[in-house]
Amino acid sequence: MIRFDKVAVRYGGGEPVLEDVDLSIAPGSFQFLTGPSGAGKTSLLRLMFLSLPPTHGSITVFGQDSAALTRDDLPGIRRRIGIVFQDFRLLDHLTLYENVALPLRVRGKDESSYARDVVDLLKWVGLAERLHAHPPVLSGGEQQRAAIARALIDQPDVLLADEPTGNLDPILAQRLLRLFVELNRSGTSVVIATHDLALMDQMQARRLVLQDKTVRVYD
């Protein structure tokens, strides 16, 4: 689904953040992306989401070379890749329902075609009673789960999550992990960027370890 061949990234004229990265994300796979703070986890996720072009090397997404994609091609590709940002990026003036529905609304979808899906997703992440709440009144854990629901509304083939448990207590982190596992069992490939070793130790999963500016894969 996503393949990196000798990928490198540098910002400006500085030293490479990542170099000589070879990896692949297979259909229906589950993996943790880990490494020390500043190692390049967020940059790697941005490369997968095609919001950051590689300085060198090639990235193939769903069988297409990212370098050959046009501006018009990108929205369709990105709809197949859900992403959960560290800072959630919920809009404070919208309710949770409206935040989750936003990706479909901006594409001109009729609300009758997605209303049930939005409600069902919010139930799935445990926010059925918060449909009409606004982000500022929610806890960090609730905002995180709302961000996950929004990333899933387009039923992506791949979900990328950047430090999704970084601000959660251990109990909430375990609950979130169970949601990701359940999602993966339904067929979605999952990539979780985290430095939380305790979280990773809770399940057997492939690990992509950022070390010395490249990725080492441990199956």
* pLDDT digit string, tens, across residues 180-198: 999 999 999 999 999 888 8
Residue 166: pLDDT band by 50, 70, 90 thresholds? confident
Mean pLDDT over the full length of the chain = 92
Model pLDDT for residues 38-72, shown as the tens digit of each residue: 889 999 999 999 999 999 999 999 999 999 999 99
Q: In the prediction, which pLDDT does 216 show? A: 94
Tally of domains in the chain: 2
Single out the residue in 155, 170, 197 at which a domain terminates. Answer: 155
Check whether 7 has a pLDDT greater than 90: yes
Same domain, 47 and 99: no
Q: Can you give the C-alpha Rg of the chain in angstroms?
A: 17
Cα gap 20→63, rounded to integer Å: 21
pLDDT at 161 over 90: yes
In-domain check, residue 151: yes
Of 130, 155, 180, the one marking the end of a domain is: 155
What pLDDT shows up at residue 88?
86
Answer yes or no: is pLDDT of 124 > 80: yes
Contact (CB, 8 A) for 196 and 28:
no
Residue 97, C-beta contacts closer than 8 angstroms, at least 6 positions apart: 118, 119, 122, 131, 132
Range with the lowest mean pLDDT among 54-63, 160-169, 201-210? 160-169
> What is the rounded distance in angstroms from the CA atom of residue 32 to the CA atom of residue 206?
6
Q: Are residues 171 and 204 in the same domain?
A: yes
Report pLDDT for 165.
80
Q: Which residues contact 33 (CB under 8 A, 6 or more apart)?
A: 41, 44, 45, 191, 192, 193, 194, 207, 208, 210
Q: What percent of the chain has pLDDT over 90?
A: 68
- pLDDT score of 117: 93
Residue 161 belongs to a domain: yes
Domain harbouring 37, CATH code: 3.40.50.300
Task: Report residue 96 as tokens.
Answer: 């949770």
Of the residues 155, 178, 205, the one at which a domain ends: 155
Q: What is the pLDDT of residue 116?
A: 94
Residue 203 lies in domain: 1-80+156-219
Q: How far apart are alpha carbons 94 and 72 in whole angstroms? A: 28
- In percent, the amount of the chain with pLDDT more than 70 equals 100
